[in-house]
Structures are given as C-alpha cells and as structure tokens.
Amino acid sequence: MIIVLQKDATENHLREIVNRIKDYNLEPHVIVGVARTVIGLVGDKNGLEPSFFEGLPGVEKAVPIMAPYKLASRDAKGEDTIIQIGKVAIGGDQLVYMAGPCAVESREQILETAYAVRAAGASILRGGAFKPRTSPYSFQGLGEEGLEYLAEAGEVAGMLTVSEVINPSDVELVSRYVDILQIGARNMQNFSLLRQVGHMRKPVLLKRGLSATIEEWLMAAEYIMSEGNYQVILCERGIRTFETATRNTLDVGAIALARRLSHLPVIADPSHATGRCELVGPAGCAAVAAGAQGLMVEVHPNPDVALSDGAQSLTPRQFAQMVEAVGRVAEAVAPQATDRWPERNVI
C-alpha cells in the first residue's frame, strides 16, 4: 500500500502520518516525486484497509499496490527516478556511459584507459578490484590496491567511479573508494549483500542475474530499497539461454519492460551480453533503441593481453566509434520516446 499526500500537505502532516503507520508496526518509506510525495508501507499489512489512513489530514488517498516490488514500482512513483551524482545524472534524457577494463591490472593501465574513455564521452570509470571468476585459478583482482588505482584515475580524469563488491564485509571498504557500488550478476540474490548496500547512502548498480526473471530482478532492487537506499540503477547484462555463439543473450525486451514497470534508471551492459567485441556496438545500439538510459562497456588499452574478458573488451578507438554510432540511434529514437511507453495513470 502507498499513501499519497495532498499537494499542500505540511511537515507536521507527514510526521503524524508516519507515526500512525508505525503504530501498525509497519515501516514507512517516504518517496518524494515531482508532482506528489508518497509513503510506501512495508511490513505485514493483513487486515489493513486504505480507510485507516484516508481520513488523516494531508492524505489524498491510500492505494494498494499489487506488485510484490512495492518501492520500485511505477505505482509508488510515476515519474522516472534520476540519480544525481555531482554533475552526472543517471536516468535522465542524456545517455550515460560507464567504461573501463573488466579488471584493474595496474596503475598505468587504468590511468591510460580513464583518459581515453573520458575523451570519447564516458563520465563514469568502471574497473574491477574484486573479481568473482568462474575458475578459482583465474585472476581475482588486485583488491584494495586496485581500488586505490581506480580512485586515483577517476580523480585525475574527472570521472565518477564504479566497482563491484562481492562480500558484505567489503561494502565499507569499497564505499571509501568508489562513487557507485556494483552488485554483479552472480550476487543479484545475495540477500545479505543487498541488505548491506541498502544501509549505505551510495548509489547501487544492480545487474540482472544469469537466469533471473524480471520480477526477481526488481525484487532484488526492493531488498536494497527496503533498507532505505532508493538510489538503485538496474543493469540488463544478458541472460543465459541455449545459444552458445554469444556469451549471453541480451534481453532487449526486458529493458523496455523494466522501464515500464519501474521508475528506477535502466542501463545495459552489451559487453557481458555478447562476449564478443564486434557485437558490443550493435547490442549497445539495440539497448538504447529499447530505452536503456546508459551503457556499461568494457574498454582495455590492449585487449589481447587483458587478464580478464579480453575477447569482449573494446579498444579506446572502438569505444569512441561505438559512442558515435549509439548517439545516432539515440537521436533517431528520441522524438518517438514518449510513444514507446503509452500514458498511464501515475501519481
């Protein structure tokens, strides 16, 4: 259930409503939108009726939410959420590029990459320091040393940074170095980790699991939001299917549907979706045409010697070419953007 406040509701009204919600042993989540402020109710609502709240001063209406993901749904917030980090807005009309190597291998490597991707149009530098690899014998990352190199490269290049955290015990550590915490596909349903990043007041990039349904993906976002962190970015990175010619299968329809079901920003990772550098650009174009608000792309100065995911990594030059191609697609579909998602009754 959500409680929709009247436009002229005061802070005193809000406090009284929140206290009433707590009287029912429910947890209130205040979501401030452009047109309305709503309060999401989390907890056991058996026997609770909208009429219990509709008579309170400042309340316009109380509305049951049928979707299991209460806080992430369009019913809770009608307009798109825009996550503002410094000068970068994720979820707005401007495409956001997150680019960098799969793994930080050295100070020189990440610095060279940062300058190159920044020049091509990226505003967020990605780089793995803790790598959950399929094989225990593969390169596992530089750990805190890699985070230090990533933070330095982001600072000197004037970029935000994003890196994956894989253990709840590492959340505090990774948070000290990066602007965005990434939850990888293998950890999408690591609920202890989701709750831990939910306690942080730092944006979280949530990748869809290898075989996760869209509902499971949104429910993972709900875990984070239920702990009070509403700065969640959804990332479609391809799912596992019967196809073996590509690493995964980019679910383009999931991007459009996630945009329709949720107010959270949605981006795509065409590198992991395809696993082949020659397919990253076309997949990125398709994702943006479907409504992706940004792309996460693996870029390496010399992919042939990369310690991780070299086959799907672009060179800086290839990345610049991809940004140009994707930009043309984004410009072409922009006039039809409002037609892709039919109008609905929103708060």
Return the DSSP state at 103: B
Look at residues 223, 250, 234, 117 and name the one whose alpha carbon lies nearest to residue 180. Answer: 234
Higher-pLDDT residue of 44, 260: 260
Q: Assign 347 a pLDDT band (cuts: 50, 70, 90).
A: very low
Asked whether residue 340 carries a pLDDT value surpassing 70, the answer given is: no
Enter the pTM of the model: 0.90
Set out the domains of the chain in order of their start, with CATH numbers.
Answer: 2-63 (3.30.70.1140), 83-340 (3.20.20.70)
Q: Assign 335 a pLDDT band (cuts: 50, 70, 90).
A: low
Asked whether residue 270 carries a pLDDT value surpassing 90, the answer given is: yes
Region 314-328: mean pLDDT is 97
Q: Assign 328 a pLDDT band (cuts: 50, 70, 90).
A: very high
Query: What confidence score (pLDDT) does residue 133 get?
Result: 66
Q: Assign 265 a pLDDT band (cuts: 50, 70, 90).
A: very high
Average pLDDT, the chain: 91
Give the containing element (helix H, strand E) for 331: helix 316-333
Share of the chain residues as helix, strand and coil, in percent rounded to the nearest 5: 40, 20, 40
Q: CA 202, CA 213: separation in Å to the nearest integer?
A: 25
Handedness of CA 182, 188, 190, 191 (dihedral sign): positive
Place of tokens 């807005």: 89
Higher-pLDDT residue of 23, 252: 252
Query: What confidence score (pLDDT) does residue 338 get?
Result: 40
Higher-pLDDT residue of 338, 81: 81
Asked whether residue 314 carries a pLDDT value surpassing 70, the answer given is: yes
DSSP assignment string, 243-296: --SSSSB--HHHHHHHHHHBSS-EEE-HHHHH--HHHHHHHHHHHHHHT-SEEE
Asked whether residue 42 carries a pLDDT value surpassing 90, the answer given is: no
User: 116-175, pLDDT tens digit by residue?
Assistant: 999 999 999 999 998 776 777 677 789 999 999 999 999 999 999 999 999 999 999 999
Region 222-242: mean pLDDT is 96
Region 55-59: mean pLDDT is 90
Instruction: Select, from the ranges 107-116, 301-310, 333-342, the one with the highest average predicted confidence (pLDDT).
Output: 107-116
Place of tokens 């949605």: 266
Q: CA 312, CA 185: separation in Å to the nearest integer?
A: 17
CB 74 within 8 A of CB 260: yes
Region 78-106: mean pLDDT is 95
Asked whether residue 37 carries a pLDDT value surpassing 70, the answer given is: yes
Region 292-309: mean pLDDT is 96
